Structure 1
């Protein structure tokens, strides 16, 4: 019998993750994922699929470190939870790095309750590496230790797969998204249409498809700040009307064409 869906149930499943991470409870953390779940962390790197691969990911990136989740807000739409946050990681060498992030969890109901079917962690590997190096000798030592750990747990292919996250739409994608949002904020539907096409999927809010004209109208006077380019997606913290949210702007795999704009918003208007 399918599980009845409530926002609180989905949020509870997601909030169990930082608790397991803080407790360094590997079994509990891996157990949050459905069979054949996929972890994309960072998004744009090679994914980790299934419990064995997810356990190896844990061994490399979670087990040696102290990780704190600094969450600004949680957003729920359908069976998806999006977290707008920063993550503070203190490595075994003492180096501490704080990275801006958007997390997207897609959940599925199972006999054991709600489980994570897909986790996409949107953060910039290049930014993290630069910040780590700026911590000095402890950061250099952490980087030197990470390489052998990656190869030991994930193999050469896995280590190279991690480096894929350094590629993607990058700065050019961010500039295109800024132009898109500037046009929308000014109500310029022609400017929005010039950056999109008839095949682009626009959801505002997520799960509700709108036209270019409707997007330009609803997004008038929108504001944005934190912008992250991970893989072929740019994620952005936004404020639309009285609601805060996160927008995911997806690009085609082979060229700088925007294929989708999905905006997750607060269920209730916020006064933040």
Structure 2
């Protein structure tokens, strides 16, 4: 029997609770044995318990992390959380990172995949603005990366700087403007090269259905991570998250996935 939205949210909530409590075993235990963590999306994924433990030791254990929730979307076995992550890397260095966190759950309500969509370049710029205060925290992170992830893992993390460009982000913004305005012709033109448009991962829909879903809504909170652009869409107190896979040369949208809460019509 499939889980209810409340049960899925409760299962997902174990992750930030364990991270906030610095409960290493509890945090790792919320994942399936063959789980995959992509944090941020665009960096090299961590697969299986050993790599997920090293991820915790590098990025979670040494610092205080608080998750400020903006809302959840539950679609089948997927929970998408709209959050701002507050990361304290030292007594005087703190950052606020807007993110979409996608959790895919297995039949046992363990996390089979976690994808964190946030902007690594923007985070590094925010970090650098702390000036000299950031130097000790930066050195600590560099040592932890090399100790736990080795050189290949460090390079894999830094690959999160690559991916779609600001121009690609703007391209998705124009798609959303057209869809929210109900302009089917413009949406069809912008998605002329798209391989798929789906509700969730698998339910194929046409451009007319996409426009029907978004017409009259508003969007904001756009984030680019790897080759994906994500944005929140809201209407009448309901919430939808759109993910667009974007190629850079030339800039074009290759796939669109929308995840809406059960009240969305």
User: In which range does the TM-score fall when normalised by the shorter chain?
Assistant: over 0.9
Question: 1:38-49 alignment to 2 at 5 Å?
Answer: 38-49=36-47
Secondary structure of residue in 1 paired with 2:160:
helix
Question: Equivalents in 2 of 1:48, 1:125: separation in Å?
Answer: 17
- For structure 1, the 5+ residue unaligned runs are none
Higher mean displacement: 181-190 or 135-144: 135-144
Secondary structure of residue in 1 paired with 2:263:
coil
Residue 25 of structure 2 aligns with which residue?
A: 27
Displacement, 1:140?
2.5
Question: 1:85-124 alignment to 2 at 5 Å?
Answer: 85-109=83-107, 113-124=108-119
Secondary structure of residue in 1 paired with 2:90:
coil
Q: Is the 8 A contact 2:168 2:248 kept in 1?
A: no
CA distances 1:232-272 after superposition (whole Å, capped 9, x unpaired)? 100101114652221111235975332222222232369xx
Displacement, 1:33?
0.6
Higher mean displacement: 136-145 or 198-207: 198-207
Q: Is the 8 A contact 1:89 1:97 kept in 2?
A: yes
Out of 51, 55, 58, the position equivalent to 2:56 is 58
Question: Equivalents in 2 of 1:103, 1:129: separation in Å?
Answer: 19
Question: Equivalents in 2 of 1:222, 1:39: separation in Å?
Answer: 31
Q: TM-score, normalised by structure 2?
A: 0.93
Displacement, 1:226?
0.6
Aligned-residue RMSD, C-alpha = 2.0
Q: Is the 8 A contact 2:193 2:254 kept in 1?
A: no
Out of 223, 230, 233, the position equivalent to 1:228 is 223
Displacement, 1:93?
4.7
Q: TM-score, normalised by structure 1?
A: 0.91
Higher mean displacement: 65-74 or 138-147: 138-147
- CA gap 1:148/1:248 in 2 versus in 1, 3 angstroms: same
Residue 258 of structure 1 aligns with which residue?
A: 253
Higher mean displacement: 27-36 or 239-248: 239-248
Displacement, 1:208?
4.2
Question: Equivalents in 2 of 1:251, 1:148: separation in Å?
Answer: 33
Question: Equivalents in 2 of 1:198, 1:159: separation in Å?
Answer: 34
Residue 244 of structure 1 aligns with which residue?
A: 239
Secondary structure of residue in 1 paired with 2:97:
strand
Question: Equivalents in 2 of 1:78, 1:12: separation in Å?
Answer: 14
Higher mean displacement: 130-139 or 235-244: 235-244
